[in-house]
Amino acid sequence: KVLVGNLIGEDHVNYVLMYNMLTGIRIAVSRCQAKNKRQLTNQDFTAQHKYSFDIIGNELTPSAKYDFKFKDYAPWVFRELREDYFQLDPADYLLSLTAKYILSELGSPGKSGSFFYFSRDYRFIIKTIRHSEHKFLLSILKEYYAHVKSNPHTLLSRFYGLHRVKLPRGRKIHFVIMNNLFPSHKDIHETYDLKGSTVGRIYSEEKAKQNPRAVLKDLNWINRGKMLELGPEKRALLSEQIRRDSEFLKTVYVMDYSLLVGVHFVQRGNRDKVRSNTLKVFSPSVPAIRRKNTQHKGARSPEAMAVKRAMRESDPKRLGSDTFNLPEEYTGDRQQFIFYQDEGGLQATDEANQATDTIYYLGIIDILTPYSTVKHLEHCWKGLKADRHKISPVPPQEYADRFFSFMKATMRGGDGGARFKAE
Ligand code: ATP
Ligand code: CA
Ligand code: CA
């Protein structure tokens, strides 16, 4: 399948940022990966590795096109999360992200001002985050790690890395790398972002008709009479996992997260060629790897070799077109996870647990907003004439309970088939 996007050349405002992000990831991750695996220590959760890049290069970092600094946070923790719990192949991870310097930018960033970039193969998302979100993730990293460890099938965002790029003038950009819930090989026909709240949670149906990629909300879901069509088995599994995940989110005191649901109708197939958001393709300029003094120990590990090979083989020419090729086939890389085992998602089932012709791609996203931040935002809004109770956030406890009961009630057959009632 080919998705059309706008090729963004090296003159794109975020080209340098992308270059720096990918160069930093490439060097920092392969550096950690080249070492022998070892037991995590307490210090690993607060560790920060700094790298300094410039056009000349040194023993630690190869020459880069631009001057910038890069910080890798808790590299050993994320390595273990990736390899032991999220079952990512180490070489694969690096290659997907950095073998070619291609990222695509998600159409329009959310209200938060975050930018989203898809890896070339659509498997990974880089999301720029606020400094507060960054600090927050670090502060709950231990709890997050423990939760993932005891919940291999968690629906929470899978964080694969936490990094920072510092540009010469001092601008700092924090970002996480996480799983793209949506597959590259299946059209997503409808997308919903569900919070379990109904106040203001609607996207204009009029506009939705024009834009099949629109992200719809709770009221659209309810008004359209949607349910998660799952038979007793999957219903029980999913609702138990959402219960555990929302309990976790309660304990770390966050809110404002949502269940992102992408729906694929098997009958309709891929004829609309609607994946997710429009892909804008950055110029695939190849990284300058003039490896001068870069022969460091460990560079010969299998992962490092795989990366080097991919670097050599990557096409140094520009794509010369504004199309973007996505993998046609499901790579099978999520098979071991209950909720991602059917074509990378969760196939709907009937009351006899027989598969029906819908596949859901779902997960709990945007989990880095602690209550304190929301309270602060609320404070900023006070001066505005907005209806206070509409924007007033509910505390994490209430948020989680409301979230869970909404999800439970919206599973066909759940709660005796009761429909969630709009307030
Ligand atoms: P806000 O705080 O205003 O909600 P945000 O910038 O924090 O915005 P998110 O809520 O994290 O953004 O995500 C915005 C949209 O990006 C989602 O509705 C979804 O369409 C897409 N998205 C986010 N995370 C993922 C993911 N892991 N997989 C697929 N799509 C995602
Ligand atoms: Ca959100
Ligand atoms: Ca957010």
Pocket test for ligand 1, best of 123, 125, 203, 260 (most atoms within 8 A of CB): 260
Please say if the pLDDT value at position 268 is more than 90.
yes
Compute, in angstroms, the gap from residue 222 CA to the centroid of ligand 2. 19
Q: Report if residue 365 sits inside a domain.
A: yes
Q: Report if residue 166 sits inside a domain.
A: yes
Q: Report if residue 241 sits inside a domain.
A: yes
Q: What is the pLDDT of residues 240-262, one digit of tens each?
A: 999 999 999 999 999 999 999 99
Q: Whose CA is nearest to atom 25 of ligand 1?
A: 180
Compute, in angstroms, the gap from residue 402 CA to the centroid of ligand 3. 18
**Count: domains in the chain:** 1
Compute, in angstroms, the gap from residue 178 CA to the centroid of ligand 2. 15
Compute, in angstroms, the gap from residue 103 CA to the centroid of ligand 3. 21
Q: Provide the strand spans (E) within 158-272.
A: 159-166, 172-179, 190-194, 215-217, 258-265
Compute, in angstroms, the gap from residue 366 CA to the centroid of ligand 3. 5
Query: Ligand 1 in contact with 133 (CB < 6 A)?
Result: no
Query: Ligand 1 in contact with 260 (CB < 6 A)?
Result: yes
Higher-confidence position of 181 and 199: 181
Q: Provide the strand spans (E) within 27-144.
A: 48-53, 68-73, 103-106, 116-119, 124-129
What ligand is nearest to the CA atom of residue 176? 1
Q: Report if residue 68 sits inside a domain.
A: yes
Q: Name the average pLDDT for the chain.
A: 83
**CATH number assigned to the domain comprising residue 370:** 3.30.800.10
* Alpha-carbon span 129 to 27, nearest angstrom: 21
Q: How many Cβ atoms are within 10 Å of 357's Cβ, its own excluded?
A: 12
Query: Ligand 1 in contact with 110 (CB < 6 A)?
Result: yes
Q: Report if residue 401 sits inside a domain.
A: yes
Q: Report if residue 423 sits inside a domain.
A: no
ipTM: 0.99
Q: Whose CA is nearest to atom 12 of ligand 1?
A: 110
Instruction: Compute the average pLDDT of residues 175-189.
Output: 95
DSSP code for 334 = T
Q: Report if residue 229 sits inside a domain.
A: yes
Task: Look at the alpha carbons of 260, 266, 272, 275 in this order and tell me if their dihedral is positive or negative.
Answer: positive
DSSP string spanning 134-176? HHHHHHTHHHHHHHHHH-TT--B--EEEEEEEE-TTS-EEEEE
Q: What is the pLDDT of residues 401-410, one digit of tens each?
A: 999 999 999 9
Compute, in angstroms, the gap from residue 109 CA to the centroid of ligand 2. 11
pLDDT at 286: 37
Structural domain of 130: 2-417
Query: Ligand 1 in contact with 407 (CB < 6 A)?
Result: no
Q: Report if residue 286 sits inside a domain.
A: yes
Pocket test for ligand 1, best of 366, 368, 399 (most atoms within 8 A of CB): 366
Instruction: Compute the average pLDDT of residues 20-29.
Output: 96
